[in-house]
A = this chain, B = another copy of it.
Amino acid sequence: MYESHQYLRQFSIKPSVQRSAVMNFLLKNRIHPTIDEIYLALSPSMPTLSKTTVYNTLDLFVERGAVRALAIDERNARYDVDVSAHAHFMCRSCGTVHDIFGLKTQMFQIPETTKLNIDAVEISYFGKCEKCSGN
């Protein structure tokens, strides 16, 4: 928990019990969780935690650049503490989101368009994961 405390400060986020718990969960569970997954994982040990707090907290994390919000899942927002350049894969069957590392850095470069002011890239793959490939 102490680590998450420090981690938050790196992004000038004032730590609180809730914020540290959320960041800690993200750092230890690299599963690109949804708000609900985070809430359900933390609420047993923090019974007074509110889902609104989880929403607020992640908004703040994203705003400060500590976390990336993924658009890959149309149903729910998903969050990734790894803000480095990498892609994602989502299984159409079970909905899990996997990291795809090792793509050429070139692919994450921003195309030169004079008109648009691009600040982020997201590369997403869809299909079936190993487990679900039988279905």
Contacts and interface: CB of A to CB of B under 8 A. Distances in A.
Interface in A94-131: 98, 100, 102-103, 107, 110-111, 113, 115-130
Contacts of A130: 115-117
A122 B124 CA distance: 5
Interface residues of A, number: 33
Give the copy number: 2
A133 B117 CA distance: 7
Contacts of A129: 115-117
A77 interface: yes
Given A69-B74, A118-B125, 4 more contacts: A74-B77, A119-B127, A120-B126, A124-B124
6 contacts: A74-B74, A103-B111, A115-B130, A116-B128, A117-B127, A120-B127
